[in-house]
Amino acid sequence: MNENKYPDLLALVKARKSVRAFAPAKVERAKLEYMLEAARLAPSAVNFQPWCFVVVREAEQLKALYECYPREWFAAAPACIVVCGNHEASWKRASDGKDFCDVDVAIATEHLALAAVEQGLGTCWVCNFDVARCREVLNLPPSWEPVVLLPVGYPADTTETERKRKPFNDVVKWERF
């Protein structure tokens, strides 16, 4: 018998969306730790794991982080995980020197986002922020780059809406382009 021992991943992926309105409730530390454990276990090129997750929950620190991305909806998030990458520690492909740090960080960030949905939380990837200011706010060492701001909280609106995606056959090519 070949029974699937894992929950329905596709349903979880379909439930993940960018949340830009958060309820004022605090996020429990246990739920954040669950998300962070999922990210810690993410795969990375050659298993170098060139990431670090800075959890920001204190009001004063959140306010300082808000200066990096001054949007009202962002300021309303009760927590933010800053996903950082270390380009000095990441794997580079020999044939062309491609640095896989950003790829590895993206995989870990999506693990965070999916784990958040599973915990009843919402997130939104934010990549358009003041990196220099963020580095300063978090007192990051020079080798660490803040790559993603991931606000985390309970969604204020739990209405499910279908997201627009390209049709399956537009993005999947069998054998050849």
Q: Is pLDDT of 54 > 70?
A: yes
Burial class from Cβ neighbours inside 10 Å (0-12, 13-18, 19+) for residue 170 reads exposed
Structure tokens at 87: 């380009």
Sheet holding 122-123, edge to edge: 51-56, 79-86, 144-153, 122-123
Q: Which of 175, 36, 6 lies closest to 116, judged by CA?
A: 36
Indicate the pLDDT class of residue 116, thresholds 50, 70 and 90. Answer: very high
Q: Is it the case that residue 13 has pLDDT exceeding 70?
A: yes
Cα(105)–Cα(113) distance, rounded to whole angstroms?
12
Q: How far is CA 53 from CA 37, 49, 109, in A?
A: 10, 11, 9
- Per-residue pLDDT of 77-88, as tens digits, reads 999 999 999 999
Summarize the confidence of residues 91-120 as an average pLDDT: 98
| Least trusted range by pLDDT, from 4-18, 92-106, 129-143, 145-159 | 4-18
What is the model's pTM? Answer: 0.93
pLDDT of residue 8: 87
> Are 77 and 58 in contact, with CB atoms under 8 Å apart?
no
Contact present, 79 and 24 (Cβ < 8 Å): no
Q: Which two tokens stand for residue 47?
A: 């298993």
Length of the chain: 177
- Asked if residue 91 has pLDDT above 80, the reply is yes
In which band, very low, low, confident or very high, does the pLDDT at 159 lie, cut at 50, 70 and 90?
Answer: confident
The amino acid present at 71, given as its one-letter code, is: R
Evaluate if residue 2 carries a pLDDT over 70: no
Q: Chain-wide mean pLDDT for the chain?
A: 95
Q: Mean per-residue pLDDT for 21-39? A: 97
